[in-house]
Amino acid sequence: MDLSLSTRSQDDFEVIEVSGEIDVYTAPRLREALVELVSKGHHNLIVDVERVEFLDSTGLGVLVGGLKRVRSHDGSLDIVCTHDRLLKIFRITGLTKVFGIFDSVDAAVASH
C-alpha cells in the first residue's frame, strides 16, 4: 500500500526503483528522492515503475518536475513501464511524448 524506493547505479545512470502506490500522500517522498539525486549531481535518471500498483496525476507531476530539474542540467529522466494501466495515464496526459518510456532499464540505458 505504501511507497518503497531504492536507488542503484547502472552505467552512467541512477536507477530509482519504485514500488507500491504513488498518490498525493506518497508522491512527496518520490519528489524528495529525485531532488536529492539531482542535488548530488546525478542528472541522468531512470525511474522504474514496474512494481508500482497505482499512479495518479500527482505522481505524474512529480515525474515532470524531476524531468525539468535534470533537463536544466542537460540530463535525462526516462521511465521504465510496461503496465497498460499506468501507460494509460501517461497517454491521457500526453506525457508519452514527453518522457522516454521503455520496457526495461537496459533498453532505457541503450537508448542513449
Give least dist CB 110 to other proteins, A: 29
C-alpha cell read off for 13:
545512470
Q: What is the DSSP string of 29-59?
A: HHHHHHHHHHHTT--EEEEEEEEEEEE-HHH
Contact, 18 vs 52, CB < 8 A? Answer: yes
Q: Which of 5, 50, 56, 65 binds other proteins (CB under 8 A)?
A: 56
| Locus of grid cell 524528495 | 32
In the shown chain, the binding pattern of residues 62 to 101 toward other proteins, with x for contact by CB under 8 A and - for none, equals: -----------------------x--xx--xx--------
**Binding range to other proteins, per CB under 8 A, among 6-14, 19-27, 33-41, 103-111:** 19-27
